[in-house]
Structure 1
């Protein structure tokens, strides 16, 4: 399909980075564009035993044929952006929209010193909330005002629309998760903007009719970082026993855990107009599934779990993650 949007179905941490990295390699996308909030979201993926993390670039960085774009709706922290460009050697294929808002030290200081944000909401301290507040007040600097990133500036919306119109393959990567949306999430324990599929399209500058598929990513259990409700939450000790104990890729904070939430999944599918499901970390629930790349070879209980998700949600589970490695994936498309 020419244009696929990926979004998180729960509270972030669903494994979108691995899914995007897999799709970019498997389907050789021409363009990968990042929407979402900004560097408060870290996406992680592993190839040949080496772990990679990105906070600004799309998770398609490992495919040297893919152009990497950052949409106008994304907040940019220049030092993080430049470090990732250097780390992944993407100077000739990274482009940032002229109108991206810029996070500076003032925003980070506000994020870390504000008791409501830090102690009540449990933000990452990356400055994204105060920066988005300044954007709403029309006080923020834009990417076009920052000389050190001038080499990478582009009209991202124009580039993506042109690519779609000429039948190039475009992969759009969302950040956070549906229930961290400022509008549709567990307010006030949410991020500083909407992060559903509609908003991700707006971030990169395409209209809804340009999208062919919305791939919603669910983990085989639910986790969230920070404060806010979590239905059927288990204790850290129980999470450790289940091997569900995880830590955030940006802050290192311990994630809270709960079993897969079918009602939450159905609501997320509705809000995002999702057409397919990617399910990650099936091997954590069913260790015998680890590394399997053929659905027919999964243990029966793992097959039943996937089938139940399909019957409950009415959508096909087309991508199944069975391990940490990018290619530890069952592709059922």
Structure 2
């Protein structure tokens, strides 16, 4: 920091929400700002036994000193946003860029059609059709929605001003590198670019403003919806390994596969990773559960992390070892 960009290295579901929530508590940033697509991405984190799921706000909501911003590139569903503002009692610290596009019911209806929801496996939240309308210049903007008037501002100005004054800014990406419209396995992708460069564009900061890029990987790979998944294992095998998971937005079962070094290497290059996080190590190695010091990890778990670091050439600075926000080994 002061400017850390966090993005997913696989197909989403890597545990970015937990990592962002931890960093917001540990580093106390002035601003957490969300880029990405919109409410089709759910980020989950737990604190003191309570689970939180956010689809619009940054995952930093538990830190009352952090302002919660949504960049211009993000699509907003006002109903979902207002519920999350109420959940975190964040009325006085939530700001939405005036240029955010608005998802209407018609977009949601179109997203549930045979091609998008049936063939591609979209979340049905309206983001693809809304981004299509944005490209056609027919989309309504946040500045046009009366119920958002208290929250509208120029987010790019706010973020750049904070950085110029050496304040800490935490940038949160959504989805994952291989769901990028440009770099994923088209057509089984989301409706825009979600790599680090795209996320910076969403919030309105130039590349020279970024100090670090943290790419988040899970200790194994999961994917929701259609599209290729190298070395995919069966549902029965996923259940046996403890890898059987369900999406936080749709509740659909996630497909699973072992850690993919080739995809991770490419994701690190595309995103210019300066550090990585590895989450759910405790699922791979149950003896790691809730361990918070690297030296206390079992030898096989340390070897696993060292193999990933050796292949990728980047240090794993954060390692997730449990569902709680503080179940993290911090090696920064």
Q: Distance in 1 between matches of 2:147 and 2:325?
A: 33
Q: How far off its partner does 1:236 sit? A: 0.5
Query: What stretches of structure 1 of length at least 5 have no aligned partner?
Result: none
Q: Distance in 2 between matches of 1:299 and 1:233?
A: 27
Confirm or deny that 1:56 pairs with 2:56.
yes
Equivalent position SS for 1:99: coil
Q: Which residue of 1 aligns with 2:27?
A: 27
Q: Distance in 1 between matches of 2:117 and 2:217?
A: 27
Confirm or deny that 1:215 pairs with 2:190.
no
Equivalent position SS for 1:218: strand
Equivalent position SS for 1:279: strand
Where in structure 2 are the equivalents of 1:222-261 lying within 5 Å?
A: 222-261=221-260
Q: Which residue of 2 aligns with 1:78?
A: 78
Q: Residue by residue, what CA displacement relative to the aligned partner does 1:35-60 show, whole Å, maximum 9, x if unpaired?
A: 00000000000001100000000000
Aligned residues: 332
Q: Distance in 2 between matches of 1:236 and 1:208?
A: 41
Q: Residue by residue, what CA displacement relative to the aligned partner does 1:51-95 show, whole Å, maximum 9, x if unpaired?
A: 000000000000000000000000000000001101110000000
Q: Which residue of 2 aligns with 1:47?
A: 47
Q: Residue by residue, what CA displacement relative to the aligned partner does 1:72-129 show, whole Å, maximum 9, x if unpaired?
A: 00000000000110111000000000000000001001001x2110111000000000
Q: Residue by residue, what CA displacement relative to the aligned partner does 1:251-303 show, whole Å, maximum 9, x if unpaired?
A: 00000000000000000000001110010000000000000000000000000
Q: Distance in 1 between matches of 2:104 and 2:118?
A: 22
Confirm or deny that 1:161 pairs with 2:160.
yes
Q: Distance in 2 between matches of 1:79 and 1:2?
A: 32
Normalising by structure 1, we get a TM-score of 0.99
Equivalent position SS for 1:248: coil
Q: Which residue of 2 aligns with 1:3?
A: 3
Q: Distance in 1 between matches of 2:255 and 2:208?
A: 37
Q: How far off its partner does 1:172 sit? A: 0.3
Equivalent position SS for 1:151: coil
Q: Distance in 2 between matches of 1:116 and 1:129?
A: 11
Q: Distance in 2 between matches of 1:156 and 1:149?
A: 14
RMSD, matched Cα: 0.4
Q: Residue by residue, what CA displacement relative to the aligned partner does 1:12-49 show, whole Å, maximum 9, x if unpaired?
A: 00000000000000001110000000000000000011
Confirm or deny that 1:273 pairs with 2:285.
no
Q: Distance in 1 between matches of 2:87 and 2:64?
A: 13
Where in structure 2 are the equivalents of 1:69-148 lying within 5 Å?
A: 69-112=69-112, 114-148=113-147
Query: What stretches of structure 2 of length at least 5 have no aligned partner?
Result: none
Equivalent position SS for 2:200: helix
Normalising by structure 2, we get a TM-score of 1.00
Question: Moved runs in structure 1, 4+ residues, more than 3 A?
Answer: none
Q: How far off its partner does 1:159 sit? A: 0.2
Q: Distance in 1 between matches of 2:106 and 2:287?
A: 49
Equivalent position SS for 2:56: coil
Q: Distance in 2 between matches of 1:302 and 1:240?
A: 20
Q: Residue by residue, what CA displacement relative to the aligned partner does 1:228-248 show, whole Å, maximum 9, x if unpaired?
A: 000000000000000000000
Q: Distance in 1 between matches of 2:236 and 2:162?
A: 49
